[in-house]
Structures are given as structure tokens and as C-alpha cells.
């Protein structure tokens, strides 16, 4: 892709990285090895001394759950933009990715992204503009450019929706139907109550205790007696009435 095409690729970029070599095979990744005019696109090269250290930008369009929606090239001392993740290490050797500058990418779930990056190009001179591309910054007298486009939706197949539905937590389906799960409010909206699924039972110590086992309770000077105690204290056999009647 040394030539800038006016046609948008079929898939958006799903990951951006930095690598150290052009001789290695990075599965699924395209390495931006040259600028648009055919010059070396090494991001590390020193203008005064020839260095053996090399760094090249690469990216992939492998279909995945996320896509790159924005990218920035900032000074190493600048604060990281909100929502962006820095590319700190090289993908192949885990060394420092860049010096003086820092590449930052912003990811988004593919289903939630309206637009995403589709291509990245490097120009030999930063003053050179690419049609339909946006500048992300400059490094080593080179300009880094990216192109955006709409995210296709056809990748979400019926099987994807079916899987997502089957993996949803079946909390409501398992709810105990012995008690009402919702409470009807005056506004016409059904809402959960704080007492849902809380069992209410009488303590066994009250169910098993017999009246004669109840202890006397003194409440504000008033003694509360059991039924047996009341019958024993105030029992009356009506013997006098019976003798008169006979």
C-alpha cells in the first residue's frame, strides 16, 4: 500500500503496534515500511548518526470485538489523552516503542463504533497533505496520516445475536414465583421491592412453647399471667349456688 488509494478497504483497523524489524513475519499485520514517495519509514532513525535501532508502524484489520476509532502522536512529556492507550513497547521484542514521541490509540467495541480507522500512511515531509486523510502528528520530519470510514454492520450475524441472548443471565426466569416479583407503583411502573424473595416465618421457639411454659412478663408494673395461672387464681366452683338450688 505504498500508493494511496481512493478506495476504502473493506475492514477497519482493529489494532496498531510498533515493530523492530522488516524481515520478520507478523501474522495478519501490515508494516508501513516506506513513506508515500518510497523513502524508509523508520520512526527511530537519527538525523546525525546512523543507528542500528529501527522502529516501524504496523496495523491489522483482523475482525475482532474492538476497532481503533482514533489515534494521536504526542510528545513524550504530554499527558495521555482521555480514553487513549499508549503503545509503549514493540510487539516483537517488548522494547521501547518510540523516543521523544508517543503513539496513542483509542479503542471501542465494534458494535458501538460508528466510524473507525481504515488506513495509515506516512509521508516524507510533514507539509505534504494526503487527500481524505487526517494528520496525527510528525516524527523525524515525517508526517503520519490516517483515514476513517463507517464501520460495517454485516459482521453481526444471526448466530452472534443468538449467542448473546443465550448468554444473558437468566435471573428473572429463576425468580421464585411464590411471591410477587414486582410491586405496582402509582405511576404505572412495576419496580422491584426490597423484600422480594425474603422468607417470613415465625420463630420455632414461639411455635413450640406451651402456655404453661410462658414466663411472667412485668410491663410498667402490670404482671401478665398465663391462662393456667389466671384459672388457678380465680377459679370459682359455684358450690353455694348449687346448695341453695337443691
- pLDDT, one tens digit per residue, over 154-187 is 655 444 444 444 444 444 333 444 444 444 444 4
- Indicate whether 214 and 113 sit together in one domain: no
- Indicate whether 132 and 217 sit together in one domain: no
Look at residue 118 and tell me whether its pLDDT is greater than 70. yes
In a domain, 216, yes or no: yes
State residue 239's pLDDT score.
Answer: 76
Mean pLDDT (whole number) for 17-31 = 94
- Indicate whether 143 and 26 sit together in one domain: yes
Rounded distance between C-alpha atoms, residue 67 and residue 146, angstroms: 14
Count other C-beta atoms under 10 Å from residue 141's C-beta. 12
- Indicate whether 120 and 24 sit together in one domain: yes
- Indicate whether 130 and 230 sit together in one domain: no
Q: What is the CATH number of the domain that holds 114?
A: 2.100.10.50
Lowest mean pLDDT among 113-122, 215-224, 230-239: 215-224
Over residues 138-155, the pLDDT tens digits come to 998 899 999 999 998 765
Average per-residue pLDDT in the chain? 78
Q: What is the CA radius of gyration of the chain?
A: 39
- Indicate whether 230 and 121 sit together in one domain: no
Mean pLDDT (whole number) for 52-76 = 95
Look at residue 188 and tell me whether its pLDDT is greater than 50. no
Domain containing residue 214: 203-234
Residue with cell 516501524: 56
End position of a domain, from candidates 150, 170, 193: 150
End position of a domain, from candidates 114, 129, 150: 150
Q: Is the dihedral of CA 119, 27, 18, 122 positive or negative?
A: negative
In a domain, 172, yes or no: no
* pTM, two decimal places: 0.60
Question: Which of the two residues, 167 and 7, has the higher pLDDT score?
Answer: 7
In a domain, 165, yes or no: no
State residue 181's pLDDT score.
Answer: 44
Lowest mean pLDDT among 53-62, 138-147, 236-245: 236-245
Look at residue 104 and tell me whether its pLDDT is greater than 60. yes
- Indicate whether 24 and 113 sit together in one domain: yes
Question: Which of the two residues, 185 and 235, has the higher pLDDT score?
Answer: 235
Rounded distance between C-alpha atoms, residue 33 and residue 41, angstroms: 5
- Indicate whether 228 and 117 sit together in one domain: no
- Indicate whether 133 and 212 sit together in one domain: no
Rounded distance between C-alpha atoms, residue 74 and residue 72, angstroms: 6
In a domain, 62, yes or no: yes
End position of a domain, from candidates 133, 150, 167: 150
Look at residue 21 and tell me whether its pLDDT is greater than 50. yes
- Indicate whether 89 and 24 sit together in one domain: yes
Total number of domains in the chain: 2
Amino acid at each position: 500500500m505504498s500508493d494511496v488509494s481512493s478506495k476504502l478497504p473493506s475492514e477497519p483497523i482493529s489494532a496498531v503496534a510498533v515493530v523492530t524489524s522488516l524481515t520478520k513475519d507478523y501474522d495478519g499485520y501490515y508494516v508501513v515500511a516506506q513513506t508515500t514517495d518510497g523513502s524508509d519509514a523508520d520512526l527511530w532513525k537519527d538525523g546525525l548518526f546512523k543507528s542500528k535501532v529501527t522502529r516501524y508502524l504496523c496495523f491489522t484489520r483482523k475482525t475482532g470485538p474492538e476497532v481503533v476509532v482514533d489515534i494521536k502522536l504526542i510528545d513524550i512529556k504530554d499527558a495521555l489523552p482521555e480514553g487513549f492507550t499508549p503503545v509503549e513497547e514493540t510487539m516483537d521484542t517488548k522494547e521501547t516503542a518510540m523516543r521523544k514521541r508517543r503513539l496513542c490509540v483509542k479503542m471501542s467495541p465494534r458494535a458501538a463504533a460508528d466510524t473507525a480507522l481504515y488506513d495509515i500512511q506516512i509521508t516524507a515531509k510533514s507539509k505534504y497533505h494526503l487527500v481524505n486523510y487526517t494528520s496525527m502528528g510528525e516524527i523525524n520530519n515525517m508526517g503520519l496520516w490516517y483515514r476513517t470510514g463507517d464501520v460495517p454492520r454485516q459482521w453481526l450475524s444471526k448466530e452472534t445475536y443468538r449467542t448473546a441472548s443465550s448468554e444473558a443471565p437468566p435471573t428473572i426466569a429463576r425468580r421464585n414465583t411464590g411471591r410477587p416479583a414486582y410491586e405496582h407503583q402509582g405511576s404505572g411502573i412495576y419496580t422491584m421491592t426490597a423484600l422480594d424473595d425474603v422468607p417470613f416465618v415465625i420463630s420455632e421457639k414461639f411455635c413450640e412453647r406451651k402456655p404453661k411454659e410462658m414466663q411472667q412478663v412485668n410491663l410498667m408494673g402490670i404482671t401478665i399471667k398465663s391462662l393456667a395461672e389466671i384459672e388457678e387464681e380465680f377459679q370459682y366452683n359455684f358450690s353455694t349456688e348449687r346448695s341453695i338450688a337443691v
